[in-house]
Amino acid sequence: MSATMLQLAEGLLALPGAKHLPHTDKDPISNLPTLPEAQVSDSSIPIIDLEALHGPRRSDIVKQLGQACQHKGFFAVGAFFFFFFFWKSFLLEFILDASCAKWYMVVKNHGIPRTTVSNIFDTTREFFHLPKEERMKFYTPDPNSDIRLMNAYKDEVANVFVARESLKFHCHPVENYVNKWPTNPPSFRKYAAEYLTNVRRVEITLLGAISESLGLERDYIEKKLGGHYVSLNYYGACEQSDLELTYGVRAHTDPTIITILLQDDVPGLQVLSEGEWMDVNPIPGTVVVHVGDLLQAISNHKFKSLLHQAMVNCEKERMSIASYCYPSSDAMIGPPKKLIDNDHPAVYQDFTFKEFSEQMWKVITFTDTRLDSFKCSTA
């Protein structure tokens, strides 16, 4: 396996349970639009207002969520987004964009204080502005490390520069890992712990609603959870002459249940919709949550994991905080019996998260084709 592919694998398959196994290269993105070919545009998105998730109409809201999934091509192309504002009770707004076959959900008043969001970006910026020798204290080639720095690099084969620098670490329970986090800047541990504790609470709430939308018990997915993993991402501004050959991170889906992405105010996130890259520009006070491969399997392919990438610009640096939701190593993944009948046969067989992680390192791929080894023979 080439060093370049290994760098990509380490950057994208940032989950616990990775083992040093024989690798097979696989290129699932060669037929996707290249940077010059991508048609990037913003869409006006109709909004359907709904009432509080935490209130007497919860069951109505969950029912509507299921209907949206069934009748509007929910996750057929790949995405749902949760936009968050500030405190008190939850309010859901579904955003259905039929022209892109996408479904969006807006959640107001998530309970993450604005100061907490501001603080995590401030301390992330300070860390990546430290001298390189200070940052490199956290570099390790070991994918099983509890914390590791990933550097930008040149993909010699594709002749592109992958510009993202990221600090990835375990973070749940916080008290088990906080002593391994940076002490420089001095605010890092405090601000990271505050943000990640809040995100974990949001994660549990969202997974309850997602479970119910599938007709499952509210805690069905929550019971499968393991720890929590986070990636603090930094994208420096690049030279104008290099812009067409520079990615923030290349196209991929996440090998997670869901990923919660906090963006700063600089655009960069793109999702693939009907063969074209679509900008998901930042909305102040919001986060983006998208479906990962494991939720695709749990939902029996009713929900589709999101193919996305990050771009850079020549004017401003960009930061994002990606929180990865993943199961415990022995958690059984695959569609529950309630989702399987004669009209909806099982697409995936049961497998453990440990088996999934090991398979990722046998065949390196960056899309939901990671699940192909676990498909039923009749699927």
pLDDT digits (tens, 9 = 90+) for 32-66: 555 545 444 444 332 222 334 556 766 665 655 44
How many domains, the chain?
Answer: 1
According to DSSP, residue 132 is labeled: H
Note whether residue 84 is domain-resident: yes
pLDDT digits (tens, 9 = 90+) for 333-356: 999 999 999 999 999 999 999 999
pLDDT band at 22 (very low <50, low <70, confident <90, very high): very low
User: The domain containing residue 306 runs over which residues?
Assistant: 3-374
pLDDT digits (tens, 9 = 90+) for 359-370: 888 777 888 899
C-alpha to C-alpha distance for 292 and 367, rounded to whole angstroms: 10
Return the residue matching tokens 């771009």. 311
pLDDT over 60 (residue 109): no
Note whether residue 99 is domain-resident: yes
pLDDT digits (tens, 9 = 90+) for 288-333: 778 889 999 999 998 888 888 898 888 899 999 999 999 999 999 9
Note whether residue 9 is domain-resident: yes
CATH number at residue 57: 2.60.120.330
Note whether residue 42 is domain-resident: yes
Higher-pLDDT residue of 143 and 26 is 143
Please report which residue ranges of the chain form alpha helices under DSSP H: 3-12, 58-71, 114-128, 132-135, 174-177, 188-213, 293-298, 353-362
Note whether residue 123 is domain-resident: yes
Note whether residue 379 is domain-resident: no
CA of residue 333 relative to chain centroid, distance? 18
Contact 311, 270 (CB under 8 A): yes
pLDDT digits (tens, 9 = 90+) for 160-216: 788 899 999 999 999 999 999 999 999 999 999 999 999 898 888 778 888 888 889
Note whether residue 297 is domain-resident: yes
Contact 52, 91 (CB under 8 A): yes
| DSSP code string of 211-245 | HHHTTS-TTTTGGGEEEEEEEEEEE----GGGGGG
Torsion angle defined by CA atoms of residues 34, 309, 9 and 164, in that order, rounded to the nearest 10 degrees: 100
